[in-house]
């Protein structure tokens, strides 16, 4: 149990430390740690948890960390995973914020962050392909994916509508 | 009231910082960029804890440093109001609702509902919806970030690198950052 708690903390610490810009930036990291490195969840279980994290209030990666932590280590696991994902923010902002504010305004640091964000675009795109293989499995799921992707690129809509649309289409189109 | 801005800031209670961020954490859906306008409304417009300009500065740090957007903003606003205890309370406020809500779902509702046919059907539709959200996030982020050729070439090269080598995403991020630092010198983005 202590071993699993330790690896939960360490994994989610890495997710928190390398999520720059928030939101979906954490998806490739969490996917790598939870599915590829540790094999804690299957890709479809991971997607289910991201869906739940999206439809509940609060930051998505904190929601996902609490859920995954609970599955792997009960109450202690959920608290440890959540603590892991927020530790980098706490340490960096509470202890080092003055130095870091100076550093991130430096042009070199800006180039580093921009290079990192270019990498992030590649990684999030790749994550959508790998996760898509378990989610887009037949004609109805292909239609749901295509319709929502096009809609989200054409209009600025809250993710909550996409979640609601996915749930309704799922209920209508599922091969019961 | 605004004449006594500094005084007010210093006397802001930890309790009211906690309540404000509990409210943000408990009632804002959609994560990240959906939460920021709500925080802005609470702390700039309603509570007048920070000015519009201070909030803009907070956002620059929020987006440049690791971590969740809502969490990073809450910690910084807490620090401005009451130092390190304020920062910790801000973090607690924005995190606690997530933990309580997700714990109750993971421990109680999910095992109860998981095998239900209708819940299966809902997740069957939710999975491609989530993938669409992730793909859309990549496209939108690309539109914002990849403005010059060097950025686009770097992104494609890193995509190829990630597919071929299957290295950990952290390494891909570090390679990208280092490439940005070495190649660009202020001309790329």
- Write the pLDDT tens digit of every residue in B100-158: 999 999 999 988 888 899 999 999 999 999 999 999 999 988 998 887 888 899 999 99
- In Å, how far are A58, B23, B31, B185 from B19, measured between CA atoms? 15, 6, 19, 44
Residue B28: band (very low, low, confident or very high) from pLDDT cuts 50, 70, 90 = confident
The predicted pLDDT at position A139 comes to: 96
- Per-residue confidence of chain A (176 residues) as pLDDT tens digits? 899 999 999 999 999 999 988 788 999 999 999 999 999 999 999 999 999 999 999 999 999 999 999 999 999 999 999 999 999 999 999 988 788 888 888 888 888 988 999 999 999 999 999 999 999 999 999 999 999 999 989 988 888 889 999 999 999 999 98
CA atoms within 13 A on the CB side of B115: 2
Contact residues, chain B, for A72 at CB < 8 Å: none
Model ipTM over 0.90? yes
Task: Give the integer Cα–Cα distance in Å for B187 and A46.
Answer: 39
Residue of B nearest to A175 (CA): B121
- Write the pLDDT tens digit of every residue in B62-113: 888 899 999 999 999 999 999 999 999 999 999 999 999 999 999 999 888 8
- In Å, how far are A86, A102, B90, B175 from A93, measured between CA atoms? 11, 13, 12, 25
Altogether, the residues listed in chain A come to a count of 176
Contact residues, chain A, for B158 at CB < 8 Å: 118-119, 122-123
Domain residue ranges in chain A: 2-135, 136-176
Distance from A4 to chain B by nearest Cα, in Å? 18
Cβ under 8 Å to A: B residues 50-79:
60-72, 75-76, 79
Domain residue ranges in chain B: 2-113, 117-183
* pTM, two decimal places: 0.91
- Tokens found for residue B181: 């630092």
Task: Give just the sign of the alpha carbon dihedral A158, A159, A160, A166.
Answer: positive
The predicted pLDDT at position A163 comes to: 92
CB within 8 Å: A90 and B184: no
Q: What does the DSSP assignment read for B94-156?
A: HHHHHHHHHHHIIIIIHHHHTT-HHHHHHHHHHHHHHHHHHHHHHHHHHHHH--SHHHHHHHH
CB within 8 Å: B138 and A88: no
């Amino acid at each position: 149990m202590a071993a699993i708690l330790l690896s939960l903390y360490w994994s989610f610490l890495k997710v928190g430390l390398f999520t720059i810009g928030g939101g979906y930036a954490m998806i490739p990291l969490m996917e790598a740690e939870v599915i590829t490195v540790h094999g804690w969840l299957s890709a479809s279980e991971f997607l289910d948890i991201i869906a739940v994290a999206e439809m509940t209030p609060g930051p998505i990666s904190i929601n996902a960390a609490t859920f995954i932590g609970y599955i792997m280590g009960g109450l202690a696991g959920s608290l440890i995973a959540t603590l892991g994902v927020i530790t980098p923010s706490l340490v960096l902002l509470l202890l080092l914020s003055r130095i870091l504010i100076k550093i991130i305004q430096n042009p070199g640091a800006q180039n580093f962050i921009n290079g990192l964000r270019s990498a992030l675009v590649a990684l999030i795109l790749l994550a959508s392909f790998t996760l898509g293989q378990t989610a887009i499995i037949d004609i109805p799921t292909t239609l749901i994916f295509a319709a929502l992707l096009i809609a989200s690129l054409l209009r600025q809509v809250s993710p909550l509508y996409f979640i609601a649309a996915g749930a309704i289409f799922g209920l209508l189109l599922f091969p019961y | 009231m605004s004449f006594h801005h500094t005084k007010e800031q210093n006397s802001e209670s930890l309790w009211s910082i906690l309540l404000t961020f509990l409210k943000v954490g408990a009632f804002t859906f959609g994560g990240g960029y959906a939460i920021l306008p709500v925080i802005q409304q609470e702390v700039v417009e309603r509570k007048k804890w920070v000015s519009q300009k201070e909030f803009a500065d907070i956002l620059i740090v929020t987006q440049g440093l690791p971590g969740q957007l809502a969490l990073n903003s809450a910690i910084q606003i807490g620090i401005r109001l009451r130092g390190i205890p304020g920062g910790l309370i801000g973090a607690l406020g924005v995190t606690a609702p997530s933990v309580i809500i997700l714990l109750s779902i993971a421990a109680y509702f999910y095992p109860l509902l998981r095998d239900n046919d209708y819940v299966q059907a809902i997740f069957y539709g939710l999975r491609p919806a989530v993938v669409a959200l992730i793909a859309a996030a990549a496209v939108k982020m690309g539109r914002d970030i990849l403005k010059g050729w060097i950025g686009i070439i770097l992104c494609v090269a890193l995509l190829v690198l990630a597919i071929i080598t299957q290295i950990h995403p952290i390494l891909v991020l570090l390679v990208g950052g280092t490439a940005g630092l070495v190649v660009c010198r202020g001309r790329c983005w």
